[in-house]
Amino acid sequence: MTEKLKIKNSEKKIETRLKELTEEREGLCLKLLPFQFKGLPDRICLLPKGRMFFAELKGTGCKSSKIQRWVHNKIRQLGFDVYVLDTVEEVEELFKKSITLDEILKKISQASGISEETLKLKTRKRKIVEARQAYMIIARLITNNSLGEIGTKVGKDHATVVHAFKNSHLTTIKNIISKTGLI
């Protein structure tokens, strides 16, 4: 089995991408200054709907110091997420996992050319059904939301979400999913 090769990234490049992705989601990416408390992570990211996490940024292959690891563990014990990120790809993967159902629905709307309101309508028009199924598939694969929560967002139940996976082989659904860039 071959392991994915990490592309070398500087800490600055990783930090820039973290800021971009946070701001794209209308959040704040605040720099924590080291003189405040030794070992603090580099950034705190505040996202809509009360989501937040701490990020320690490292150049590719670099490790956290002993004091940083201790502080990260203390922060985690308080119930907060702390991520040590050393590639741009890790930053992008983190944001894929932290995406909301509303954000997925918006991406599906953009990729399919169908408004979010239309995706929620009780209609069986093929193009709309396939876009809705693409939303359900992506939501199930990259969020921790329940089948019921995913379905409710578009006026459907959990059984409809299960059914969407049975149709995931359809080319039109695959095309919509690939246009979103989420998976």
How confident is the model over 19-56, as pLDDT tens digits? 999 998 889 999 998 777 889 999 999 988 788 899 99
In a domain, 5, yes or no: no
Q: Quick one: 124 and 158 in the same domain?
A: yes
Do residues 89 and 122 both lie within one domain? no
Query: What is the predicted pLDDT for the residue at 2?
Result: 38
Give pLDDT, residue 32: 92
Could you tell me the residue range of the domain that residue 70 belongs to?
Answer: 11-97
Question: Residue 183 pLDDT more than 90?
Answer: no
Is residue 5 scored above 70 in pLDDT? no
Does 118 reside within a domain?
yes
pTM (whole model) above 0.75 = no
Tokens coding 13: 């490049």
Q: Which of 97, 122, 142 is the last residue of a domain?
A: 97
Give mean pLDDT, residues 159-175: 83
Rounded Cα distance, 94 and 107, in Å: 17
Confidence label for 3 from pLDDT (cuts 50, 70 and 90): very low
- Nearest residue to 55 via CA among 22, 9, 96, 8: 22
Question: Which of 47, 63, 97 marks a domain boundary?
Answer: 97
Domain boundary among 97, 117, 136: 97
Alpha-carbon separation of residue 14 from 9, 26, 59, 87, 90 (angstroms): 7, 19, 8, 6, 9
Average pLDDT of the residues in 131-136: 92
- The two structure tokens encoding residue 161: 């979400």
